[in-house]
Amino acid sequence: MAFAIKAASTSNSTSSPAVHQLLSLTTRMASAAKMPAGRRNAAAVIRAVAAAVAPPPAPAPARPTGDQRCLRPCPGSRRRAMCALLSYIDCSLGFHTAFIPYITAGDPDLATTAEALRLLDACGADVIELGMPFSDPYADGPVIQASAARALASGTTTDGVLAMLKEVAPELSCPVVLFSYFNPIVRRGLADFAAAAKDAGVDGLIVPDLPYAATCALRSEAMKNEQELVVHSSSIDFIPIYSTLLL
Catalytic residues, which ones?
129, 140
List beta partners, residue 176.
128
Alpha-carbon span 158 to 195, nearest angstrom: 13
Each as own residue / partner, the long-range contacts of residues 221-226 (CB below 8 Å, 24 or more positions apart, any chain) are 221/190, 221/191, 221/193, 221/194, 221/195, 222/194, 224/194, 225/194, 225/195, 225/197, 225/198, 226/79, 226/198
List beta partners, residue 6.
100
Q: Which of 12, 42, 16 is nearest to 126 (CA)?
A: 16
Alpha-carbon span 86 to 134, nearest angstrom: 27
Alpha-carbon span 119 to 26, nearest angstrom: 12
Tell me the CA distances in angstroms from 82 to 76, 176, 212, one per residue in order: 12, 9, 25
Alpha-carbon span 56 to 3, nearest angstrom: 25
Alpha-carbon dihedral angle through residues 170, 20, 130, 143, given to the nearest 10 degrees: -160
